């Protein structure tokens, strides 16, 4: 026995939902998923664990400052690579970089209730426990190696020196500044 239901407003797709159906997102197999993961994660690991320690001698500073600067450079290069990788994957799948296609292919949509289709609303309430958890975590002091505490490092004179060249606080380039402030900058 067939039951027909009346057409409701929810059953009729809106213009935005109709546009979503035009963007076809292919389903990758297990091999392709691992290949994309490896293409994104392994270069970051190589940059952080191999390239940065090899590059640290090119930076001035004492203690962990050169390694910190090298990690900043290496991980920034890794993020640029991940952006390029995403651009390549989207181009292979969609053959366009139109914003409407990018928005759907990369899931850059507002949160929507699967039951009602309503945008926003109660889904944002998930932020309340996350903000509370972040606040609790920042109050509780968790033990860890002091040499890897970024907040403690940035609070030192050496850590403040790592930000002096990139913060835009001075219009003079690092390579032109006096030798005392150039200690914390990249070798000219």
pLDDT at 14: 53
- Cα→Cα distances 4→7, 13, 44, 143, Å: 9, 18, 54, 62
HEC readout, 39-107: HHHHHHHHHHHHHHHHHHHHECCCCCHHHHHHHHHHHHHHHHHHHHHHHHHHHHHHCCCCHHHHHHHCC
Per the document, the length of the chain is 188
Question: 50-70 b/e with 16+ CB inside 10 Å = b?
Answer: ebbeebbeebbbeebbbbbbb
pLDDT tens for the chain, 188 residues long, are 444 444 444 444 454 554 445 788 889 999 999 999 999 999 999 999 999 999 988 888 887 888 889 999 999 999 999 999 999 999 999 999 999 889 888 888 877 777 887 777 677 788 899 999 989 888 887 777 777 777 777 888 877 777 665 544 444 444 444 444 444 444 43
């Amino acid at each position: 026995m067939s039951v027909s239901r009346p057409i409701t407003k929810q059953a009729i797709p809106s213009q935005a939902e109709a546009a979503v159906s035009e963007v076809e997102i292919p389903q990758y197999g297990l091999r392709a998923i691992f290949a994309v993961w490896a293409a994104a994660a392994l270069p970051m690991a190589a940059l952080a664990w191999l390239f940065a320690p090899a590059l640290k001698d090119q930076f001035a500073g004492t203690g962990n400052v050169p390694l910190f600067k090298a990690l900043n450079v290496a991980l920034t290069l890794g993020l640029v690579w991940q952006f390029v990788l995403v651009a390549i994957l989207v181009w292979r799948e969609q053959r366009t970089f139109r914003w409407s296609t990018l928005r759907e292919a990369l899931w850059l949509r507002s949160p929507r209730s699967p039951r009602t289709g309503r945008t926003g609303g109660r889904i944002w309430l998930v932020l309340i426990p996350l903000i509370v958890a972040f606040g609790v975590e920042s109050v509780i002091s968790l033990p860890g190696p002091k040499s890897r505490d970024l907040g403690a490092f940035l609070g030192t004179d050496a850590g403040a020196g790592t930000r002096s060249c990139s913060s835009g606080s001075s219009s003079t380039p690092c390579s032109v500044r006096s030798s005392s402030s150039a200690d914390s900058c990249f070798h000219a």
